[in-house]
Copies of this chain bind each other. A is one copy, B any other.
Amino acid sequence: MKDGKIHRKIKVHFEPDGVGALVDKGANLLQAAVDAGVHITASCGGAGVCGTCKVLIERGEVESSPSKHITNDDWNRGIRKACQSKVLTDLKVVVPVESRLETAVVSREIDMTAGVGQPAGTVATGWKFKPPLNKCYLELPMPTLSDNTSDLSRLLRGLKKYCNLKYAGVDPGVLKKLPQVMRRKNYRVTATTLVKAVKTQADKRKPTVINIESGNTTRAHLGLAFDIGTTTVCGQLLDLGRGEVIAEAMTRNGQIGYGEDVITRIAYSQRSGGLKKLQQAVVTTINNIIQVLLDNSKFKSEDIGHMTVAGNTVMTHILFGVDPKYIRLAPYTPVANFFPPVKANSLGIVVQSHVHVFSFPCVASYVGGDIVSGVVAAGMHQREKLTFYIDIGTNGEIVIGNSDWMVTAACSAGPAFEGGGIKHGMIATEGAIEDFKIREIGCKPEFRTIGGVKAKGICGSGLINIVAGLLGAGIISQNGKFNFDAEEGRIREGEDGCEYLIVPAPESQTGKDIVITEVDIDNLMRAKAAIFAGCQTLTKNVGVSCADLEQVIIAGAFGSHIDVENSITIGLLPDISRHKFAFVGNGSLSGSRLVSFSTDLLDDARKVATMMTNFELSESPDFMHHYVAGLFLPNTHAGDFPSVKRRLIGLKGR
């Protein structure tokens, strides 16, 4: 308005979401989408280098310049990179299926009670079922002139007498509704109590009354467990009365529009209003998941009384609105590793005002609450066995130790294992290619999708199986490059370089070919190299060898299972006795669920976080050496992978 004229706002309409936005002329199109809540994958955070944020401008004009990521044909039909486009006129923008595929929250059919679903020997045991959130139904005596104590005292007396809750406190919000709620059904009430503090040497647990309802509501006693990943957010709706999972759902973290990994997110948080935007983005994701969880149940939002989240250190900072700036500056200090419980709706989470968010304690800047959660769920802190715990995600974390000691390290793998940065990558939901096999060299590949439906894309575990399969069939070499001699027809030159056709367009759900590119393979190699180099560096530094490991627990949100043989083949996991491996799925989510069921495990989480010693891989010269050796299939140190070496030689011999 500096020139005194009134600027008309420009209308941008996004399809297929059907969402409209008003922006100023010259606005960045990616930003406009993000602000309007329209998700467009933008792996590089809008820096213009990745090409994942392509959109179709169906009507109207943008200012944009050609890019190597856009073919001439695509340019001519209106494809542009959203991050590099300025809005000039009213627009109709179509977000293509590849970019929006994973923005929908996907609920999963599950059949899982507490602890079930993980292999025996890899789950915490010996804990009592006693959720931090408790509901007590009380039939209190009516007040009389000879017993006219306060409503609160009457309630606390009842809790002490019938529920054995001594020294209970009360939240101020309860007092405001107490007199009406107690009288509505003649002093028959349900009190919701919460153990807020982790047990310390100094005190017994003192529960706090956080809510009060008329009548008996103990049947509607729910909690939420969340894993807040850099790339993927998963949530479960829990029945805290029965100790069961009611529903599960997952989706991409809405922050993805602001960058692919924690470093780009921290960078974004330093812009004006950046931290707030990131916080709102993940809260929107959480709210969407809660909505889907409730839609898949017979319960209402009012029935939810508790929430536990596990996330890495950066995700935890951002969720709580705490500045992560110094995490990426030497000497890499987080603001806090332990975050006190806060009211969920103070963060913007749409639940009742009495709901508190508990978060898992973190260990260091790059070893967060998600790993603590996974270790507790796996019961690693309860066994004497020398165990190796690997959480394979965008930020790969590894832990070595047992009930006496634990050393941790973080190695940034990038989002490949969660389908991020992969041309047709996706999260591990229906339609994701999970299994892949080439029975005989020269045969047509066979694959299986989650849910057995037509293929939409490739999830993390599918990616491992595809690369191992292509390597075994000689279609790619040990350096990850395509071997044009090995296959005819499926290996070809695509818009992003060489690619291998997995599913032809007519057979796919997207109506487009599903391929794996050399760039994808390269991304996977860098991801697995980082993780394996971390394993090697850490084992060496604690003075053990891979052969000494008695158990290897693998966690990750990348699929419903992992093929150990294939993982060893590509050099992600060490080549040791196969029976030592166990896959526990999303360990962070499991831990989040389990502490919602037991205060014992809540205490354990605190202890585990305290006993973990962090080892900074970036400070170790060994790490880079091992990493470079890992940029090969399985590894340039073939001696570390004797069984793979034998097999590959066997193949060559044929």
Which residues in A have some Cβ–Cβ distance to B below 8 Å? 143-145, 147-154, 166-167, 169-172, 175-176, 178-180, 183, 197, 200-204, 206, 320-323, 325-326, 330-340, 342, 346, 362, 364-365, 616, 619
Contacts and interface: CB of A to CB of B under 8 A. Distances in A.
A206 B198 CA distance: 12
Considering the complex of A and B, which 4 residue pairs feature the smallest CB-CB distances, nearest first? Answer: A203-B203, A152-B336, A148-B331, A150-B334
Contact of A323 (B179, B325, B362): B179
A335 B150 contact: yes
A331 to B, nearest CB: 4
B332 A172 contact: no
Nearest to A362: B150
Contacts of A331: 143-145, 147-148
B340 A171 contact: yes
Contacts of A153: 336-338
Nearest to A616: B145
A214 to B, nearest CB: 15
20 contacts: A143-B331, A147-B331, A148-B331, A151-B336, A152-B335, A153-B336, A169-B340, A172-B320, A172-B340, A172-B342, A172-B346, A175-B320, A176-B322, A179-B323, A197-B206, A200-B206, A202-B204, A202-B206, A203-B204, A203-B206
A204 B203 CA distance: 6
A336 to B, nearest CB: 4
Contacts of A171: 340
Given A144-B331, A331-B143, A331-B145, A202 B166 contact: yes
B197 A169 contact: yes
Contacts of A150: 333-337, 362
Contacts of A202: 166-167, 203-204, 206
Contacts of A334: 150-151
Given A175-B339, A176-B323, A365 B169 contact: no
Given A150-B335, A179-B323, 16 more contacts: A147-B331, A149-B337, A150-B333, A151-B334, A151-B336, A152-B335, A152-B337, A153-B336, A153-B338, A167-B202, A170-B338, A172-B342, A175-B322, A176-B321, A179-B325, A202-B206
Contact of A336 (B170, B326, B619): B170
Nearest to A142: B331
Q: Name, among A179, A183, A206, the residue most crowded by chain B CB atoms within 10 Å (CB to CB).
A: A179
A337 B339 CA distance: 31
B206 A170 contact: no
A330 B145 contact: yes
A387 to B, nearest CB: 25
Nearest to A178: B335
A114 B235 CA distance: 55
B323 A180 contact: yes
A523 to B, nearest CB: 30
A613 to B, nearest CB: 11
A340 B148 contact: no
Nearest to A197: B169
A156 to B, nearest CB: 9
A132 to B, nearest CB: 16
A175 B336 contact: yes
Nearest to A364: B148
B175 A365 contact: no
A337 B619 CA distance: 58
A148 B320 contact: no
Nearest to A208: B340
Nearest to A169: B340
A331 B202 CA distance: 40
Contacts of A149: 333, 337
Contacts of A364: 148
Contacts of A320: 172, 175
Contacts of A200: 167, 206
Nearest to A152: B336
A150 B179 CA distance: 44
A178 B202 CA distance: 26
Contacts of A180: 323
Q: Name, among A154, A166, A326, A332, the residue most crowded by chain B CB atoms within 10 Å (CB to CB).
A: A326
A323 B181 CA distance: 12
A197 to B, nearest CB: 7
A338 B172 contact: no
Nearest to A325: B179
B336 A178 contact: yes
B145 A326 contact: no
Contacts of A323: 176, 179-180
A608 B364 CA distance: 47
A325 to B, nearest CB: 6
B145 A619 contact: yes
A112 to B, nearest CB: 32
B330 A170 contact: no
Contacts of A152: 335-338
A353 to B, nearest CB: 12
Contacts of A342: 172
Nearest to A149: B333
Contact of A172 (B166, B175, B339): B339
A168 to B, nearest CB: 11
A615 to B, nearest CB: 12
Contact of A335 (B151, B346, B362): B151
A611 to B, nearest CB: 14
B365 A170 contact: no
Contacts of A339: 172, 175
A333 B206 contact: no
A458 B541 CA distance: 84
Q: Name, among A170, A340, A364, the residue most crowded by chain B CB atoms within 10 Å (CB to CB).
A: A340
Contacts of A206: 197, 200, 202-203
